[in-house]
Structure 1
Amino acid sequence: MSQVQSDYVSKNASKLKPSGIRKFFDLASQMENVISLGVGEPDFVTPWNVCEAGYASLENGYTAYTPNAGLLELREGISSYLNEQFSLSYDAKSEIICTVGASQAIDLAFRSILDTGDEVIIVEPGFVAYSPAVTLAGGTPVPLETVEEDEFKLTSEKLKSAITDKTKAVLICFPSNPTGATMTEEELEDVAQVIKDHDLLVLSDEIYAELTYDQTHYSIARIPGMRERTILISGFSKAFAMTGWRLGYVTGPEEILSVMLTIHQYTMMCAPTIAQHGALEALRNGREDLERMKRSYRQRRNFIVKSFNRMGLSCRMPGGAFYAFPSIQSTGMSSDEFAEKLLHEERVAVVPGHVFGEGGEGYVRCSYATSLESLQEAVKRIERFVNKNTE
């Protein structure tokens, strides 16, 4: 009977492994007195004015579907926001789609551009959902490792080495999850030239764009010749503390967006109506809250990175997002062993670096999107663990 049932399962889907992030989150949830530095989610509650906008939408009877691409008012707000914040220009009617989180936008993008056998170069260490999304769309993910010596940035030389005649697109995420790496305009221009020379598309996941600390975020879509070949993905989860609202968006060339919208119509219909009203309020009146949260993340970043380096876990200063990516190679443990022992011995949950790609082995990801008080206690426990296991 089990053999018959297994024959019903998609071979593509059966290749997928469960999320390594969720594994440790689930373990931690079953234990007491655990400080979780695992899941990448702001510890801030969604600002009250955004919540009120959601309540008001219910009270005013906005419980029906919106247009498939999202409320035009919201798309116009996103268009204005991108222009003001990042000097990007997109037509609200034909080049923006509101999605169920940035994750759905990634899925839609790959299903819209890939045919069987097409290759997508994925910069790693990178978010765990990228490769599975390529696989489910019938494509072939091609990991491209970045290294700490390059500050986990993508270089044009490395990109050239990974391109084949089957390469269709490159996926980048800066600021990066899990490394926090950022790239300058000049560095992106070098990469963009390779992409243009080989006539490739680029998916640019910029969900952490607002959380860039030491420089101004620069989108690859701004570079001449790149707007028409860039699918830009972002959302409200991270910067606006709206993870549970599940509201993202995608922008790009109308030719590609029209295909994405068709798939969206058949599979999702539209993003949640309440969430769209909340997002509109966040765009209109959420800048002060965004800056307040960003200041707090910066303080926490400085504290945790300094602490890791002091205890002998080499850690570069992340330029964005809310993750530290310390090296645990000095302990002699694998990232899996380190994370498991730390959880069981000291009740601190971190994510082993290898789940973000082979280049992540020897590191762990620690989210500092938690209170400074919790971080201070977590650092004490980690330092005690390191001292005990490296004597």
Structure 2
Amino acid sequence: MHVSAGRLAIGFAILAALLYGISAPVSKILLETTSPELMAALLYLGAGIGMFAVNLATQRRSRERKEAPLSKKDLPFVIGMIVLDIAAPILLMLGLSLTTAANASLLNNFEIVTTALVALLLFREAIDRRLWIAILLIVAGSVLLTVDDLSSFSFSAGSILVILACVCWGVENNCTRMLSLKDPMQIVVVKGFGAGSGALLIAFLASGMQTDLVSVIAALVLGFFAYGLSIYLYVRAQRDLGAARTSAFYAVAPFIGAAISFAVFQTPLTPLFALAAGLMVLGAYFAAKGGHMHKHIHESVMHDHRHGHEDGHHTHVHEPPVFEEHTHEHTHERLEHDHPHGADMHHVHVHEEKK
């Protein structure tokens, strides 16, 4: 991973988190007039409609396509992404209706855990010691936030629903990771219209279409910023950081949401919440300290994605030379080298021993 590209990717991930951080507290307000199923639909439809408009405006300015489009071989991951994006926000909205916005915001950190574990078990992403520590701390914090009362040890239904939403998004993050070399704008539009339409159908079947015009407009605008722009930046970050590490930087979002929730709803700060928040702050810190360096091998591969020629991985030659980023099908010859890297799509090698 090129150093400047890595810093830019971290910036994308943090900005994505800032945008998503406003989602839980604002959604909590809108749920007073809108059903959870319809709210989930409007958020994703807002993302799809907004990013489709941005895409049209962008294409008019530049006729040259710099990003690789989705193809037929991407279809299994696209379907998985849409199905999980239908389930996750509905579960989150249901959970938000049963618990505090601050609680739900912090519980979103559990997405890091499921993202990392799925990345390890299914996609063979490397998880180092720091990320394992982060996972344990975040799990501990999530358990504390899920418990209503330590003396009776009863579980909060709202918190459990939020955790289930995080599980869905953790799996979905890995589906999106497999698409991260493709056009991120197209991915967000497909996500928005696909998941939004599915959730809208569920809302209709569940008789949950009651709302008002102001709430609809507010939800669509929130969806554009907190889901559309946020997802776009998240996908761009995944391209260079991989699924697990991107979700680690994205962990800023829950704390933003919790801070807004305390300010807006005047939620009382309990010792249990403070302890859980402390564990999650430590977890987010350890998760963000990823990346490693060792000698590794890139096997020969042919694929199509946006790229430049200054990162040490794209060494093919153009006649005449091309200096700007561009997209075309290209071949990576077998390469062995040593440099700092994460778990992006160009570094999917297996770590059989500690380096």
TM-score (norm 2): 0.29
* Higher RCO (Cα < 8 Å, 6 or more apart): 2
Higher helix share: 2
